Amino acid sequence: MSTAVSADSSGKPQTINLEDLPLAQLQKIKTQLEEELNSLTGAFSQMKQAQSAFRECKNCIDEMTPESKDKTIMIPLTNSLYVPGKLSDIEKVVVDIGTGYYVEKSAKDAASYYDSKIEYVQDNAKKIQQTVEQKQASYRGLLEIMQYKLTQQQRQQQQAEANKQPGTTAKAR
Amino acid sequence: MSVEQRKALETQTMALQTLQSELAKIVANRQTLDSQQQENELVQKELEQLGDDARVFKMIGPVLVPQDKEEAKANVDKRLEFIRDEISRADQKVEQLSKDQEKTSMELFKLQMDIQGINKN
């Protein structure tokens, strides 16, 4: 997702000093930033979930040692229904490679497949985290500017009131 | 504010809102397409790396059906082609809608200026 902070009639985004913008517009940018931050943190936790799912697969492969051959296991038919079975082949596994395709691999290949997946997801998570940090920094900056503008506005108002009625002190509202 | 102006203001605001929601829908669609493209590319890469004797299955309902590797590859390639087409179509639509949106909000802005101008006089 890209953010053109502002695009004028010429259509090309310009860098505009945030301090020059009116508060209403800053408010808009703030909501936009909040939305982006939300979706990014959501994506980040999805990455973490995917990573732990791959880790679990990898662990299962590592658990299948030569000793586990011919051992009786319970095979889940559904989440709550199991039948007994025997591990007849510990050399070959079938791996989900996405979009409904599955590939038969040796246990060793499958383990390295999951390793590369974990790394891939890790890279993505890192990238997302970097973007999140950047966005958070600009979000904090934006908040500061808004705060500054708000106090300035209040001060101006107070001054205007004081000028209008020189006799009375600024009334508390 | 005259009756015509009120009407014009209403129609323009409505138009802007429809444009905005349509744009949001297409952008969301575009994102789904993006992730589909990524997933298919990963599958393509994986199929590319397979040895000649590798066995490929396709999940159809709850069962795994053995499939020819070349067929699977062709299938994924075709799907990717289709997704790319869809993405470029979505991009065009996004561009068009953004332009329309900009135009409508400009008109709306002008209208508001007119109304305020009359109010001031």
Segment B56-104, tens digit of pLDDT: 999 999 899 999 999 999 999 999 999 999 999 999 999 999 999 999 9
Does any domain span residue A138?
yes
Rounded to a whole number, what is the distance in Å from the CA of A159 to chain B's nearest CA?
26
Q: Does A148 touch chain B (CB under 8 A)?
A: no
Question: Per the confidence metrics, is the pTM higher than 0.80?
Answer: no
pLDDT of residue B115: 85
Q: Indicate the pLDDT class of residue B47, thresholds 50, 70 and 90.
A: very high
Are A98 and B43 a contacting pair at CB < 8 A? Answer: yes
Report helix, strand or coil for B64: strand
Enclosing H/E stretch for A108: helix A107-164
The closest alpha carbon to B9, from B103, B100, B105, belongs to B105
Rounded to a whole number, what is the distance in Å from the CA of A168 to chain B's nearest CA?
31
Q: Does A75 touch chain B (CB under 8 A)?
A: no
Q: Does A144 touch chain B (CB under 8 A)?
A: no
Enclosing H/E stretch for A97: strand A92-98
C-alpha to C-alpha distance for A81 and A43, rounded to whole angstroms = 33
pLDDT of residue B3: 86
Does any domain span residue A71?
no
DSSP state of A6: -
The total number of structural domains in chain A stands at: 1
Report helix, strand or coil for A47: helix
pLDDT for A168 beyond 70? no
Identify all chain A residues contacting B54, using CB atoms and an 8 Å cutoff.
Answer: 103-105
Could you tell me which residue, B110 or A7, shows the higher pLDDT?
B110
Q: Indicate the pLDDT class of residue A21, thresholds 50, 70 and 90.
A: confident
Are B57 and A102 a contacting pair at CB < 8 A? Answer: yes
Domain hosting A100: range is 33-63+91-144
pLDDT for A173 beyond 60? no
B16 in Cβ contact with B104 (< 8 Å): yes
Q: What is the CATH number of the domain that holds A121?
A: 1.10.287.370
Does any domain span residue A26?
no
Are B79 and A99 a contacting pair at CB < 8 A? Answer: yes
pLDDT of residue A52: 97
Q: Indicate the pLDDT class of residue A60, thresholds 50, 70 and 90.
A: very high
Q: What is the CATH number of the domain that holds B15?
A: 1.10.287.370
Are A103 and B58 a contacting pair at CB < 8 A? Answer: no
Domain hosting B101: range is 3-120
Are A101 and B79 a contacting pair at CB < 8 A? Answer: no
The total number of structural domains in chain B stands at: 1
Both tokens assigned to B29: 């669609």
